[in-house]
């Protein structure tokens, strides 16, 4: 399977006043195409920081983040933006829909930024909307939708451009049990039906049953990873880093 994401001795340090906080202290992982992975750990363990780095939202302090083979460490803002635009889809805990636009327009904005359009993509989008059961909600504003519906619109927006990787940060954090279940099943369905690579970042252990692989973090390092192909990962990680 093709490697989509790879981190090599990834480190991220934040400066808060005069204090330096090491959010990530040497993270090595590899995520392959079509995987549905959960990154779990308590608050402050560095999982959100890891998500921001995997999503090209921030640059590492040290180490490498290879997204589809390209190291983002040396990229400028424009290049990072391009990576996000073309390869990444985000789903957030607070949905993050644009409040002034309808659900349909929220999805259209992502497609507009991406520069996508045309009937082929419309068909793909139709399938997604149908699967997420929100095709009749497109004319509504976020304030007119339930939390579960908003999150499904956010999911539709995140995958409307067929990103290589879908990153979801606590996607059920603002939902009740029933809606959480629906949303998690949607992620699973997206993964199964479209071979969508998905990384779910969560502190909720119940979510793990929906994923194929669990990476546990604590204090900025990975403490366990039930990688189905661990030898492959280790042997490859032992090789010199791929140049970009």
Partner 1 sequence: MNKKMIMAGLAARPVRTTVSILAVALEVTLILVVVGLTSGISYETGKRTEGVGADIMFQPPNSSLILAINNSTMPIALENKIKEVEGVKAVAPVQTLVNSSSGLEIIYGIDPQKFDAVTGGFIWHKGGYFKATDEIVVDDVYALAKKVTVGDQVEVLNHKFKVSGIIEHGKGARLFISQQTAQEMTGMVNRASMFYVKLNDPDQVNTVIGRMEKVFPTYGLRPLREYAKLMMSTSMPALDAFIETVVFVAVCIGVLVIFLSMYTTITERTREIGILRSLGGSKRFIIGLIFQESAVVCLIGIVLGVGSSFLLARLVQFIFPTLIVMITPDWILKASFFALVSGVIGSLYPSMKAAAQDPVEALAYE
CA terminus-to-terminus distance, the chain: 20
Binding mask 7-46 for partner 1 (x = CB under 8 A): ----------------------------------------
Name which of 155, 153, 142, 159 is nearest 98 in CA terms.
142
Q: Is residue 60 at the binding interface for partner 1, with CB under 8 A as the rule?
A: no
Q: Could you say which of 85, 121, 218, 242 contacts partner 1 (CB under 8 A)?
A: 85
Asked if residue 3 binds partner 1 (CB under 8 A), the reply is: no
Q: Which stretch binds partner 1 (CB under 8 A): 33-41, 90-98, 121-129, 199-207?
A: 90-98
CA quadruple 159, 37, 200, 140: dihedral positive or negative? positive
- Residue 217 sits at φ, ψ, to 5 deg, of -120, 150
Judged by CB under 8 A, the number of residues near partner 1 is 28
Phi and psi based region of residue 44 (left: phi greater than 0; alpha: psi -120 to 50; beta: remaining): left
Nearer to partner 1, 92 or 187 (CB): 92
Q: Is 59 in the site for partner 1 (CB under 8 A)?
A: no
209 interacts with partner 1 by CB under 8 A: no
78 vs 240, beta carbon nearer partner 1 = 78
Task: Provide, rounded to whole angstroms, the least separation between the CB of residue 5 and partner 1.
Answer: 17
Q: According to CB under 8 A, which residues from 138 to 197 bind partner 1? A: 157
| CA dist., res. 215 & res. 43, Å (int) | 15
Q: Which residue from 3, 13, 25, 96 is in contact with partner 1, where contact means CB under 8 A?
A: 96
Taking the complex as a whole, the smallest distance from the CB of residue 99 to partner 1 amounts, in Å, to: 7
Does 228 sit near partner 1 (CB under 8 A)?
Answer: no
Smallest distance from partner 1 to CB 101, Å: 5
Residue 109 touches partner 1, criterion: CB under 8 A: yes
- Member of 26, 28, 57, 68 binding partner 1 (CB under 8 A): 57
Question: Residues interacting with partner 1, by CB under 8 A?
Answer: 52, 55, 57-58, 77-78, 81-82, 84-86, 88, 90, 92, 96-101, 105, 108-110, 112-114, 157
């Amino acid at each position: 399977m093709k490697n989509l994401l790879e981190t090599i001795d990834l480190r991220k340090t934040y400066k808060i006043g005069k204090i330096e906080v090491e959010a990530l202290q040497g993270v090595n992982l590899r995520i392959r195409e079509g995987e549905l992975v959960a990154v779990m750990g308590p608050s402050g363990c560095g999982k959100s920081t890891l998500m921001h780095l995997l999503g090209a939202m921030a640059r590492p302090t040290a180490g490498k983040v290879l997204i589809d083979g390209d190291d983002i460490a040396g990229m400028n803002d424009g290049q990072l933006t391009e990576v996000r635009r073309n390869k990444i889809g985000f789903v957030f805990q607070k949905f993050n829909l644009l409040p002034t636009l309808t659900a349909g327009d929220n999805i259209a904005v992502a497609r507009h930024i991406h520069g996508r359009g045309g009937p082929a993509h419309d068909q793909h989008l139709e399938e997604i909307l149908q699967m997420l059961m929100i095709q009749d909600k497109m004319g509504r504003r976020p304030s007119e939708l339930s939390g579960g519906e908003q999150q499904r619109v956010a999911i539709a927006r995140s995958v409307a451009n067929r990103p290589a990787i879908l990153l979801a940060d606590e996607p059920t954090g603002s939902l009740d049990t029933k809606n959480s279940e629906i949303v998690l099943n949607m992620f699973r369905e997206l993964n199964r039906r479209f071979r969508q690579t998905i990384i779910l970042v969560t502190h909720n252990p119940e979510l793990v049953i929906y994923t194929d692989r669990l990476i546990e973090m604590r204090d900025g390092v990975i403490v366990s990873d039930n990688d189905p192909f661990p030898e492959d990962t280790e042997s490859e990680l032992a090789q010199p880093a791929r140049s970009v």
